[in-house]
Structure 1
Amino acid sequence: MRFKDKVALVMGGNSGMGLATAKALAAEGAKVHLTGRNQQTIDEAVAAIPGSRGYRADIADIASSEAVVSAIEAEDGRIDVLYINAGVGGFAPLRAITPESWDQTHSINLKGCVFALQKAVRIISKGGAIVVTGSIGAHGALPGNGVYAAAKGGLYAAMKVFAAELVGEGIRLNMVSPGPIDTPLLHRNPGMSDADVATLKQRMIESIPMHRMGESDEVAKAVLFLASEDASFITAANLFVDGGLLELR
C-alpha cells in the first residue's frame, strides 16, 4: 500500500502500459484518475478500477489537459502522482516522412506531454512524483524510426531540464523508457498489416537478449517504483525496461 491516500493521474491510462499502471496504483491504495481518447476503453478501465475517474481527453489538445487538471483540483485538490503515458508510434524512412506525420507525432509525444506536465504541476506539491514514458527508440538507431525517436529524444532532454527546475520544490521527475512491449499501440501503426506486425514482433524478439517481448505489467512495476518512496533519492533518471536490448549490445 505504498500509495494509500494518494491522488494519481495516469494520462493515457485506458490501455496498455497506462492501464496496467492505473490498476497497480489503485491496488496499492491510490485514488486514480485516468485519461484516454476512446470513450469505450475509458469506461472499461473505470469499471475495472474501483473508485477511479475517467476523462476523454486528447493530450495533443492542451485545453483538454487543463480541463482534466481543473476537474481533479475541484474534486481532490491535488495530484500526488502523475504518470504521462499518452503517445503514438509509427515507422517511416527519411524519404517517406511528411510534415503532417512529423507534426502529428510531435504534437502528442513531445508538445502534448510537455504542456500536460505544465498544467498538472500547478497542483503538485512537495513530495509529489512524476513519471513520463520515454522510449529506447530515442537512444538507438532503428531505421524508419526517425520521427518517433526525435520526439522521444526531445522529451527526454526536456524532462531532465524540468527535473532540475522542480527538484528544489521537492518534486521528483523521472522517465521510464520501455523497449519492445506487447501493447495495443504496436498494432496501431498506420500502413502495417497484421502480418507486418507479426514480422516486426519476431524481429524484435530475435534482437532481445531475454528472447521475449515485455509485458505492460513489467513497465507498471517500474513506474510504481519511480513514483514511490522506494525511489525517494532518485530524480532525473531514465530507467530502461527493455530486456537488456540496449545495455547488452
Structure 2
Amino acid sequence: MTHSFQNKIAVVTGASSGIGLGIAQELAALGATVIITGRDKNKLESALSTLGPDASQFQVDVSSLSELDDFYQQILSRFGRIDILIANAGMGEFEPLGQITPEKFDLQFTTNVRGITFTVQKALPLMKPGSSIVITGSTASINPGQGLSIYGGTKAALRAMVRSWILDIKGAGVRINILSPGPVDTQSLHDFLPDPVDAILQSLRDRSPIGRIGQTDEIAKAVVFLASDYASYINGAEIFADGGASQI
C-alpha cells in the first residue's frame, strides 16, 4: 500500500528544520500541497527549496495569537481549508531542579502547551470531516529523564489535553493523535543536550532495544501514517516511535 495525499492541504508548524522539515518533505513527496511555518525566515526559505513548487512558507511564532490569526486568515484566503495539521512547533530546555528559572519555565509552557492549544483550536474552523491533526509529542511525556521535568511536563500536558479534546469535538469528523518520538538524530538534539554530548548520545543508543537513535524520516513516516486514511479509526492515541525504549 502507498499513501497518497493528492489534493490534500497540509500545514506543518515548526518545519524549518529537523523533524518538522522531514514531515513536510514526506508529505510533499506523497503529493500534498504543503504549507510550512517557522520563526526564522532564512531557514524557512532554505526548507521551502526542498519541498517542490507547490509548497508555501509563512513566518509564524505559534506563541503569538495575532500571528496565528493572520496565518489562518491567509490559509483561508489562499487554500480555503486544511486537511492535515501537523502541530510540531516546540522547544525544550535542560533545567535540573534547583536551576529552573521562571523565564525558561514560562517559555516552554508558552510554546509547547499554549502554542499547540491555539494552533489546533484556531485551525478547527478550516477543517472538515475526514481531516486529521497530529501533534508532535515526546517520550519525555512518560520518561523525561534528569533535567527535563519542565519539558516532560509540557508533553504530558498535551497528552491529557488530547484526551479531552476528542470529546470536545465529538462528531466533527476530525481526528487528533500524538506521535511521540524518542531521541532523533537532528541538530536540535545535539544543541539541546548538555555536555558531554557524545557520552549522552551513546547512553541513549545503549538504552534502545534497537541499539540506535531514530532518524528524521522514520518519525516522518509514522506521522504521515497517523495523518492518513489508513489510520481512520485511530483517535486520541499517543503513539511512541522510539525503537521500543519506552516499553521496557
In the alignment, residue 64 of structure 1 is paired with which amino acid?
Answer: E
Contact 1:66/1:116 (CA < 8 Å) preserved in 2?
A: no
In the alignment, residue 46 of structure 1 is paired with which amino acid?
Answer: L
Query: By how many angstroms is 1:2 displaced?
Result: 1.7
Instruction: Give the match for residue 106 of structure 2.
Output: 103
Over 6 Å off, 4+ runs: none
Instruction: Give the match for residue 230 of structure 2.
Output: 230
C-alpha distance after superposition, 1:123-159 (max 9, x if no partner): 0111110000111101015121101011111111111
Equivalent of residue 65 in structure 1, options 68, 72, 89: 68
Instruction: Give the match for residue 49 of structure 1.
Output: 51
**Residues in 1 aligned to 2:13 and 2:170: alpha-carbon distance in whole angstroms:** 22
Contact 1:89/1:185 (CA < 8 Å) preserved in 2?
A: no
In the alignment, residue 169 of structure 1 is paired with which amino acid?
Answer: A
State whether structure 2 residue 120 is matched by structure 1 residue 126: no
In the alignment, residue 104 of structure 1 is paired with which amino acid?
Answer: L
Task: Map 1:45-194 to 2 at 5 A.
Answer: 45-50=47-52, 51-189=54-192, 192=194
Query: By how many angstroms is 1:244 displaced?
Result: 0.5
Instruction: Give the match for residue 240 of structure 2.
Output: 240
Contact 1:78/1:123 (CA < 8 Å) preserved in 2?
A: yes
Instruction: Rate the CA distance shift 1:122–1:223 in 2: closer, same or farther, 3 A.
Output: same
Task: Map 1:7-46 to 2 at 5 A.
Answer: 7-46=9-48
Instruction: Give the match for residue 206 of structure 2.
Output: 206
Contact 2:12/2:20 (CA < 8 Å) preserved in 1?
A: yes
C-alpha distance after superposition, 1:87-141 (max 9, x if no partner): 1122111111111110011111111110111111120111110000111101015
Partner-residue secondary structure (3-state), 2:49: helix
Partner-residue secondary structure (3-state), 1:246: helix
**Residues in 2 aligned to 1:110 and 1:63: alpha-carbon distance in whole angstroms:** 17
**Residues in 2 aligned to 1:43 and 1:30: alpha-carbon distance in whole angstroms:** 19
Aligned-residue RMSD, C-alpha: 1.3
Partner-residue secondary structure (3-state), 2:153: helix
**Residues in 2 aligned to 1:24 and 1:125: alpha-carbon distance in whole angstroms:** 23
Query: By how many angstroms is 1:79 displaced?
Result: 0.1
Q: Which runs of 5+ in 2 are unaligned?
A: none
Q: Which runs of 5+ in 1 are unaligned?
A: none
Partner-residue secondary structure (3-state), 1:217: helix
In the alignment, residue 96 of structure 1 is paired with which amino acid?
Answer: Q
C-alpha distance after superposition, 1:11-54 (max 9, x if no partner): 01111111111111111111000001111110011111111000
**Residues in 1 aligned to 2:32 and 2:111: alpha-carbon distance in whole angstroms:** 26
**Residues in 1 aligned to 2:191 and 2:211: alpha-carbon distance in whole angstroms:** 23
**Residues in 2 aligned to 1:121 and 1:188: alpha-carbon distance in whole angstroms:** 34
